[in-house]
Amino acid sequence: MKVYQTKEIRNIAIVGGAKSGKTTLAESMLFEGGVINRRGTIEDKNTVSDYRDIELERLNSIYSTVLYAEIDGKKINMIDCPGFDDFVGEVIAALKVTDTALMVINAQNGVEVGAEISWRHASKAKKPVIFAINHLEHENSNFEETLRQMKQSFGGGVMICQYPVNEGLGFNAVIDLLQMKMLKFDASGKTEVLDIPASEKDKADEMYAAMVEELAANDEALMEKFFENGSLSEEEISRGLKLGLINRGVFPVFCINGKQNWGVRRLMQFICNTVPSPDEAPRETFTDGKEVTYNPADSACAFVFKTTFEPHLGEMSFFKVFAGEITEAIDLVNANNSSKERLSQLFVVAGKNRQKIEKVVAGDIAATIKLKNVRTNHTLNSPKNPDPQITPIVFPEPKITVAVKAKNSAEDEKLMGILNDLAKADPTLVVEQSKELRQLILGGQGELHLNIQKWLIENVNKIAIDYLPPRIPYRETITKSAKSMYRHKKQSGGAGQFGEVHMMIEPYYEGMTPQTEFPIRATETYDLEWGGKLVFNNCIVGGAIDARFMPAILKGIMEKMEQGPLTGSYARDIVVNIYDGKMHPVDSNEISFKLAGRNAFKEAFKNAGPKILEPIYEVEVILPEEKFGDVMTDLQGRRAIIMGMDSEGNYKKIIARVPLAEMNRYSTALSSITSGRAMYSMKFVEYAQVPPDVQTALLKAYEEQEAED
Ligand SMILES: Nc1nc2c(ncn2[C@@H]2O[C@H](COP(=O)(O)OP(=O)(O)O)[C@@H](O)[C@H]2O)c(=O)[nH]1
Ligand SMILES: [Mg+2]
């Protein structure tokens, strides 16, 4: 393959709702781009993009696939993205390294939630967007309505560049306003370029005028020309489109049929001629705020956006070159961990097909294998300029967690290794061996996301596993003050043990006034690892307990804080005042005071109005308006407190505070209520007391569990 220069490269993320036709369009683009000489289909399980076992099994893209096509002296790098929200991490990573999003919209369904989601991410990444409308040959396809929804969801910049002539059954022609020609397609995938027929002339003229005016409105210089001449030249239109794309004022719309390969070459030509090359598009930045250069003469800088494990090859890293050139056998430094790397082999990749290449220049996308110490989000630099880091991709936090267990516990360790590899390839998976919950926790973006991992672990790695609900990280605290005393005494043969502690405990809160019943001689405040505080006051007068025993008393209390008296959960937000006690001249020692401290604390805790606290999350749900009532009812059944509501286009937003214990399987419930048209995110906000009935149930469950153990 020839070495493409920055200006000859286009990087496109193919995004949109699940099943809209992205992978099928990519297949036709590969065919037109000379990568394959026969087009596969989803149904025949032979597309280049959906080649992994799990994708063939499900007839769906699960991972993004890096592809390329060569056409008209240009190279189009494409990343075909999955459409389900569960795999949104792949979309976010793809948008990071591509310069334009190509969104596929199914004219039967209009704007689907997957399109809304991709739009949001493209907007966040400030990427130009072009639209390809397909499925126009169906009886119930509706171009006008689809367009109306697009304008409503994506704004007035949505601009028709092509419209269908004979939409519905028998569809085979579009008017191309940029060429002012009719494109007629036939079953073999051939395209005839014809003059616009008389019957379409008026409509085409009118739409053309509207398009030109919109373009002019997007740029002052063009507006002047437009007023001068009453129209724009072809060259001015092209310039206007490019400008409009770059400043996200114009979002051109094309018509395609990926399955029949209709309109695909034309779309690719538009991409070659008008879509910005990497150096023309909005620029990515380094962590210090500087923009990337794309200068091939600068020292090399590449950013890894995707890591996969390929059969027979091992770990594969996909990267975009942000400056300089990357050649085979180049030495690089990892800016994130200073490790030295040598690139052994360099590939351009189209799905499972790879082609070796000697060199790629700034703006291009390529892959390499067997790097030593590189993960997604790392920047690799020439040793001449080793430090700059590209701002990392921000992956979403997990929305759903499960506890994972190997059916055969002998395989637990192996399972941990596999999970870590999965998380390396998919940064939206989070694996944690939780000491607190005593479970191996896997977090992901939704039930489908986690089920896919289960399938992989069971079918590829051959380990049978169970998913269990994760335990809830409850906390314990007190609501009023209480006193206690405990004497630890053991005098049966040998050295004895003696320690007596009197304490008063009180609830801690920010800005509280210290108690005045006992003089506080020394105070220590501990920020607890699990949140909240412990304040430890030494109020001993007259040497009732030696200062040297204080740390032992504190240790005893800490032990009980770590395994709270009510349910064994962490305790928090407590002030302990040690105000009296007794020592024995011979038998007192640290262990005695530790035990006395622990037991006194346990006693006092019981009488101090103890309460169980549960984690509360702020949940943001975006849902179609007509499902508002159902979603609210479901939330109320989850002890939710509604904090706010809002409208976004056809969508409503609900913000609620919900106990984590009630969020189990929420993604599934929400998906079934809204037919998959809603999305949600959640983040921890605070700990709050559980209602009395919940507390009673938790205490009972703990007692039963203790009895069992
Ligand atoms: N009739 C028709 N079917 C299409 C078209 N594009 C895709 N399909 C079919 O729609 C389904 C989903 O396509 P796919 O490419 O997997 O969609 P993706 O999930 O967006 O990648 C498959 O059954 C395709 O064969 C099209 O332009 N016309
Ligand atoms: Mg797909």
* Environment class of 62 (CB within 10 Å of its CB; exposed 0-12, middle 13-18, buried 19+): buried
Distance 354 CA to ligand 2 centre (A): 20
Q: What tens digit of pLDDT does each residue of 660-694 get?
A: 999 988 988 998 898 877 888 888 999 999 999 99
User: Is the pLDDT at 649 greater than 80, yes or no?
Assistant: no
Domain span(s) for CATH 3.30.70.240 in the chain: 612-694
Instruction: Summarize the confidence of residues 105-112 as an average pLDDT.
Output: 93
Q: What are phi and psi of 462, to 5 degrees?
A: 60, 45
Atom of ligand 1 nearest to the CA of 20: 20
Contact criterion met (CB below 8 Å) for 522 and 579: no
Q: What is the pLDDT of residue 164?
A: 96
Provide long-range contacts, Cβ within 8 A and 24+ apart, for 311-316: 313/369, 314/369, 314/370, 315/369, 315/370, 315/371, 316/367, 316/368, 316/369
Distance 13 CA to ligand 2 centre (A): 12
- Nearest ligand, CA 50: 2
Of 511, 437, 26, 493, residue with least CA distance to 271: 26
Q: Which positions ≥6 away from 310 have C-beta within 8 Å? A: 316, 352, 369
Contact criterion met (CB below 8 Å) for 311 and 337: no
**Nearest residue by C-alpha to atom 12 in ligand 1:** 19
Q: What is the pLDDT of residue 154?
A: 93
**pTM of the full structure:** 0.85
Query: How far from the centroid of its chain's Cα atoms is residue 370's Cα?
Result: 26
Assign domain 301-381 one CATH number from 2.60.120.10, 3.40.50.300, 1.10.150.120, 2.40.30.10.
Answer: 2.40.30.10
- Nearest ligand, CA 259: 1
Atom of ligand 1 nearest to the CA of 80: 21
Q: Which of 20, 22, 24 to mutate to test the pocket of ligand 1 (most atoms within 8 A of CB)?
A: 24
Distance 156 CA to ligand 2 centre (A): 28
Q: What is the pLDDT of residue 297?
A: 94
Q: What is the pLDDT of residue 102?
A: 98
Cross-strand partners of 133: 105, 255
**Nearest residue by C-alpha to atom 28 in ligand 1:** 135
User: Is the pLDDT at 115 greater than 80, yes or no?
Assistant: yes
Domain span(s) for CATH 3.40.50.300 in the chain: 6-204+248-273
Please name the fold of domain 612-694.
Alpha-Beta Plaits (3.30.70)
Predicted confidence band of residue 334 (pLDDT cuts 50, 70, 90): very high
Q: What is the pLDDT of residue 707?
A: 85
**Nearest residue by C-alpha to atom 27 in ligand 1:** 257
Q: What tens digit of pLDDT does each residue of 587-627 get?
A: 999 999 999 999 999 999 999 999 999 999 999 998 888 89
Q: Which positions ≥6 away from 483 have C-beta within 8 Å? A: 502, 503, 504, 604
Distance 364 CA to ligand 1 centre (A): 28
Q: What's the token pair of residue 74?
A: 């240009």
User: What residue ranges line ligand 1, CB within 6 angstroms?
Assistant: 18-24, 41-43, 61, 83, 104, 134-135, 257-259
Distance 103 CA to ligand 1 centre (A): 13
Domain span(s) for CATH 3.30.230.10 in the chain: 476-609
Q: What is the pLDDT of residue 511?
A: 93
Q: Which of 19, 49, 55, 67 to mutate to test the pocket of ligand 1 (most atoms within 8 A of CB)?
A: 19
Q: What are phi and psi of 618, to 5 degrees?
A: -90, 120
Q: What tens digit of pLDDT does each residue of 18-49 get?
A: 899 999 999 999 999 999 988 999 888 889 88
What one-letter code names the amino acid at 20? S
Distance 145 CA to ligand 2 centre (A): 24
Architecture of domain 400-468: 2-Layer Sandwich (3.30)
**Nearest residue by C-alpha to atom 25 in ligand 1:** 42
Percentage of residues in the chain with pLDDT exceeding 90?
A: 77
User: Is the pLDDT at 81 greater than 90, yes or no?
Assistant: yes
Distance 258 CA to ligand 1 centre (A): 7
Q: What tens digit of pLDDT does each residue of 518-533 get?
A: 999 999 999 999 999 9
CA distance 355 to 344: 14
Domain span(s) for CATH 2.40.30.10 in the chain: 301-381
Assign domain 476-609 one CATH number from 3.30.70.100, 1.20.1600.10, 3.30.1490.190, 3.30.230.10.
Answer: 3.30.230.10
Distance 23 CA to ligand 1 centre (A): 7
Q: Which of 78, 87, 259, 261 to mutate to test the pocket of ligand 1 (most atoms within 8 A of CB)?
A: 259
Does domain 6-204+248-273 fall under CATH 3.40.50.10260? My reply is: no
**Nearest residue by C-alpha to atom 19 in ligand 1:** 19
Q: What tens digit of pLDDT does each residue of 260-317 get?
A: 999 999 999 999 999 999 999 999 999 999 999 999 999 999 999 999 988 888 899 9
Q: Which of 14, 15, 25, 42 to mutate to test the pocket of ligand 1 (most atoms within 8 A of CB)?
A: 42
Distance 34 CA to ligand 2 centre (A): 20
Q: What tens digit of pLDDT does each residue of 548-573 get?
A: 999 999 999 999 999 999 999 999 99
Q: What's the token pair of residue 605?
A: 């805790």
User: Is the pLDDT at 493 greater than 80, yes or no?
Assistant: no
Q: What is the pLDDT of residue 508?
A: 97
Atom of ligand 1 nearest to the CA of 18: 19
User: Is the pLDDT at 492 greater than 80, yes or no?
Assistant: no
Put the strands of the sheet holding 346-350 in their side by side order.
340-342, 331-334, 379-381, 301-310, 314-323, 365-369, 346-350, 353-356
Instruction: Summarize the confidence of residues 403-417 as an average pLDDT.
Output: 93
